[in-house]
Structure 1
């Protein structure tokens, strides 16, 4: 459980970091788009802006892939966690039943001993 919590914390921190990067990139992309309108006749400027926009789009695609992978891992961990809960509940129930059986056997033993001692 601690290892899972640590994984979750690491995944969350990584995603938060990517979201912050993407937010900055979106701001930069907006600025780049505005610049593109004003300097579209300059071939070098166009080329640089095109590559920067392409890079930002690639990063956004990477983010979406990472997000999808994270959701798949979360779903997988939820399934594993539910399975562990079921197993734990079964163990708890078996333990409780064993304790009840022990108490019944103890009680039967005490009754038998009492009857034997009386005779």
Structure 2
């Protein structure tokens, strides 16, 4: 399971800034729904992003470059992993059970 990349996070930050969404821990965590983000990590992200003085005048490329220059931010990002939750939908019709095993008849 790979950690989140700077490009992915900078895109999220860019969208948040473009739509005047504050870079708060709760907003960051809600935008990273596909990633496993603990509250403490989201709070650390908020603090580190605030230190970078990012603004809505910056391009996504400039935000990525600024984020890559922060070793602390990169270390925090290394703790964010993609969620591995899987959903399996089964449709069962007919007789018998719905257990996915090999049965010797």
TM-score, scaled to structure 2: 0.31
Query: Who wins on radius of gyration, i.e. which is larger?
Result: 1
TM-score, scaled to structure 1: 0.28
Q: Which has the higher helix share?
A: 1
